[in-house]
C-alpha cells in the first residue's frame, strides 16, 4: 500500500497576518521554528520505528 505523508511549513509572520505567501520566501517565526523541530522529531521517530520512504519531495523555500 502506498503511504503519503504531508507536512506543512511552520508558522510565519505572514500566517499571523493572514497574508497569502505563495512562492514568497517568508522565514519561520519562533513558533514556526519550534513547529518544524517538532515535525522533524516526529519524522525521525517514525524512521527509528521502521517507517521509511521511497521518495521525499520538498519546496526549495527556506521555510
**Three cell numbers written together for 34:** 519550534
Strand, coil or helix: what is 12? strand
Q: Is 22 annotated as a binding residue?
A: no
d(CA 37, CA 7): 12
Q: Is 14 annotated as a binding residue?
A: yes
Q: Is 9 annotated as a binding residue?
A: yes
Q: Is 13 annotated as a binding residue?
A: yes
Q: Is 15 annotated as a binding residue?
A: yes
Q: Is 63 annotated as a binding residue?
A: yes
Do 10 and 26 contact (CB within 8 A), yes or no?
no
Q: Is 11 annotated as a binding residue?
A: yes
Write out the binding residues.
8-15, 63
Write out the binding residues for substrate.
8-15, 63
Amino acid at each position: 500500500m502506498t503511504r503519503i505523508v504531508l507536512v506543512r511549513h511552520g508558522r510565519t509572520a505572514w500566517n499571523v497576518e493572514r497574508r497569502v505567501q505563495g512562492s514568497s520566501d517568508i522565514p519561520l517565526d519562533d513558533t514556526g521554528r519550534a513547529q518544524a523541530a517538532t515535525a522533524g522529531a516526529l519524522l525521525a521517530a517514525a524512521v527509528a520505528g521502521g517507517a521509511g520512504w521511497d521518495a521525499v519531495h520538498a519546496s526549495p523555500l527556506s521555510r
